[in-house]
Amino acid sequence: MEQLLQQIINGISLGSIYALIALGYTMVYGIIKLINFAHSDVYMLGAFIGYFSMTTLKLGFLPSLLLSMLFSMILGVVIEKVAYKPLRNATRIAVLITAIGVSLFLEYVTMAIAGANVRSYPPLTGILTESFNLMGITITMQQILIVTITVVLMILLQFIVKKTRIGKAMRAVSLDSDAAELMGINVNSTISFTFALGSALAGAAGILVGIYYNSINPLMGTLPGIKAFVAAVFGGIGIIPGAMIGGYFIGIVEVLVSGYGNSMYRDGVVFAILILVLIIKPSGLLGKNTREKV
Amino acid sequence: MKKTLAIILILTLTMTIMAGCGASQNENEIRIGINYELTGDVASYGQASVEGIELALEEVNNAGGINGKTIRWIKYDNKSDKSQATTLATKLMTQDKVIAVLGPATSGAFKATIPEAMKNKIVVASGSATDDSVTIDDNGVKEYAFRICFTDSYQGTAMANFALNNLSATKAVVILDNSSDYAKGLATNFTSTFEAGGGKVVATEAFVSGDTDFNAIITKIKGESFDVVFIPGYYNEAGLIIKQARNQGIDAPILGPDGFGAPELTELAGADALNDVYFSSHFSSLDKDPSVMGFIESYKAKYGKEPDQFAALGYDLAMFVIDGIKRAGSEDPVALKDALAQTKDFKGITGSFSMDENHNPVKAVVVVGIENGVHATSQRVEQ
């Protein structure tokens, strides 16, 4: 029982990261029907910005978090303007291939500048190194921090999407971008804003992974990116609460497979889930079946 | 017309070069070839090895050489490239007429030069090619290939003995990197030796290179009772496993192979987590053996820095071949090969060793202990 609880805590920490990344995938898909493969590299760059902010600039954790979210936000908007906007009316496959190109570009430019070797975050100090023991269960301060920041960011995101004018615009564009434009909504700036939001969350996930696992490298985004994509599909791609649920679900499943099965099957099980979802309910857990009109 | 002229020119040039080589033969010197990675990916291995080799050869020459003959070494840079290493080995054997070729440092490049050694019947010897299959293949031992470092999987045996005898452990957990042959060989040897010695491996967990989250497997093993954890793998993942294990309150000693011997291990795990961690090594500068201290002193005097394990292995490699030439009593490559194969109780600074029938040394492993992130202790574990 203790072990199960401990494993679930491990799973929630891991799931928070997947959920943060999955939100970016799902929001961009919701608004322009594009799987933004470069998203996992925004997450990687978020981790690197956090690293340079904490080592070179010697900033603390919170300023570094904000800096890396800000940088990721700008990066997301630049990627959208440079790579995707000129292709707004092109075929979907063209945009998809561009996304893969941007992803590889970011990975290898980072590798050329920062080197391919693994880097470790500076040692944490003060309260971040503490851990608690509750009835045989160990919870580290870093795990609490990850979950807290994730939950705060999600509440903030829900507030923006549901309660603000720009959130209303996002929902309108996602529903029908032509009709939204006719109603006087600036579709281009709404899309940019969506990229900015999603990328900021990925940047936050990057720096959280940096302090939690203490190990970053230019290709660190690949596997978590794909798993976050699975999480987004599981929850129903394009649906924000679905991405959160999917992220936590994938995190906990991974940990339980390692903990009670064989850790070698962990990644296999995640992708088996993707295949099952696509066969049984392609619209995902929270998705509605929409009938194709002819 | 131009073409014929070009061919004649090339032929003339080639003949001049070959004549030049033939002319520089000298009766009063013994030639040894050095074929190492002086630039490229693994240049740090090659440079350190060559520094150790040159130190040894200079010492031999200063002491009067071998039977009144001085040693001349011909040094080439294979640029960390396998095909370049093979070309240079051939050149050393056929043009420079060396009696033995030292190097390359890595298993892959060293293996690539062995067919040339067999063809030309010239000894090749490496100080640091640790891959299990270097000196033998399906046809048995490769007669002209030698190494003076223990093999990768032998470290598994040594660490199992260390756990049983020095730490009095009876139950162990193995967490292995399932994506590398190096780690798999280590895990197999550790498990069989540990269980043959009366211990029991209570759990074996696996990960793949590049993983960062080990909390699930750590929580899983936390439910078992065990005395030591053995992590066959490289520092990238091992550092993170140690950090996460110590965070979850696992304070049993952690053992590892020479893949732990990098400063990055401390950065990844954090100095606080690196207590009671032991790894096998070829050499430790903490060793208090008089011959080791003498080597460290003369190395520092010549190069102005601490020797690492490659420098120590390079030094031993050169001394091992010199010892073989002395015992062979002639400069006949076949006699040298036989003398090297019969090496008994050679006293090196990386431990004394004898050659087994597979041209692998039977030698002690140095186990380095880490406390608070620094290498604090070192002890030799005999077979």
The pLDDT tens digits of the residues spanning B83-127 come to 999 999 999 999 999 999 999 998 889 999 999 999 999 999 999
The answer on pLDDT for B26 being more than 90 is no
Do residue B184 and residue B140 come from a single domain? Answer: no
Could you tell me if A135 lies within 8 Å of chain B, comparing CB atoms? no
Q: Which residues of B touch A3 (CB under 8 A)?
A: 219-220, 222-223
**Per-residue confidence at B383, pLDDT binned at 50, 70, 90?**
low
Q: Which residues of B touch A269 (CB under 8 A)?
A: none
Mean pLDDT by 10 residues, chain A (294 residues): 88 95 92 91 96 92 94 96 92 92 95 87 79 83 92 93 93 91 92 95 95 91 93 91 94 93 90 92 82 58
In a domain, B369, yes or no: no
CB contact under 8 Å between B240 and A262, yes or no, is no
Query: Can you give the residue range of the structural domain that contains B202?
Result: 154-281
Residue that the structure tokens 């002209």 belong to: B144
CB contact under 8 Å between A3 and B220, yes or no, is yes
CB contact under 8 Å between B223 and A3, yes or no, is yes
Q: What percent of chain B has pLDDT over 90?
A: 63
* Residue range A157-185, pLDDT digits in tens: 999 999 999 999 999 999 888 999 999 99
Residue type for B176, please?
A: L
Over residues B185-194, the mean pLDDT reads 93
Predicted local distance difference test score (pLDDT) of residue B380: 85
* Residue range B359-369, pLDDT digits in tens: 999 988 999 99
Omega before B104 within 30 of 0, i.e. cis: yes
As for how many domains chain B has, the answer is: 2
Over residues B242-265, the mean pLDDT reads 90
Do residue B250 and residue B128 come from a single domain? Answer: no
* Residue range B35-92, pLDDT digits in tens: 999 988 888 889 999 999 999 999 999 999 998 899 999 999 998 899 999 999 999 9
Do residue B9 and residue B130 come from a single domain? Answer: yes
Q: Which residues of A touch B210 (CB under 8 A)?
A: 219, 223
Residue type for B207, please?
A: F
**Per-residue confidence at B22, pLDDT binned at 50, 70, 90?**
very low
Do residue B249 and residue B200 come from a single domain? Answer: yes
User: What's the whole-number average pLDDT of chain A?
Assistant: 91
Do residue B301 and residue B322 come from a single domain? Answer: yes
Predicted local distance difference test score (pLDDT) of residue A100: 94
Predicted local distance difference test score (pLDDT) of residue A122: 86
Q: Using beta carbons and an 8 Å cutoff, which residues of B are at the interface with A?
A: 178, 205-208, 210, 212-213, 215-217, 219-220, 222-223, 236, 239-240, 243, 247-249, 264, 267-268, 270-272
In a domain, B326, yes or no: yes
Could you tell me if A131 lies within 8 Å of chain B, comparing CB atoms? yes
Predicted local distance difference test score (pLDDT) of residue B23: 40
CATH number where B241 lies:
3.40.50.2300
Q: Which residues of B touch A254 (CB under 8 A)?
A: 213, 216
Do residue B122 and residue B207 come from a single domain? Answer: no
Residue B367 and residue B383: Cα distance in Å, rounded?
A: 13
Q: Which residues of B touch A256 (CB under 8 A)?
A: 216
Do residue B185 and residue B216 come from a single domain? Answer: yes
Predicted local distance difference test score (pLDDT) of residue B57: 96
User: Which of A14, A131, A262 is facing B213, going by the closest CB pair?
Assistant: A14
In a domain, B381, yes or no: no
Q: Which one of B215, B217, B241 would you mutate to disrupt binding with A, by most A Cβ within 10 Å of its Cβ?
A: B215
Do residue B325 and residue B347 come from a single domain? Answer: yes
**By the 8 A CB rule, do B318 and B57 touch?**
yes
The answer on pLDDT for B382 being more than 80 is no
Could you tell me if A10 lies within 8 Å of chain B, comparing CB atoms? yes
> Apex CA A79: angle with CA A75 and CA A85, to 5°?
145
Q: In what order do the strands lie in the sheet with B374-381?
A: B200-207, B171-177, B228-230, B254-256, B277-281, B365-371, B374-381
Domain residue extents for chain A: 13-221
* Residue range B255-296, pLDDT digits in tens: 999 888 887 888 889 888 999 999 999 988 888 888 899 999
User: Which of B208, B215, B243 is facing A214, going by the closest CB pair?
Assistant: B243
Do residue B55 and residue B120 come from a single domain? Answer: yes
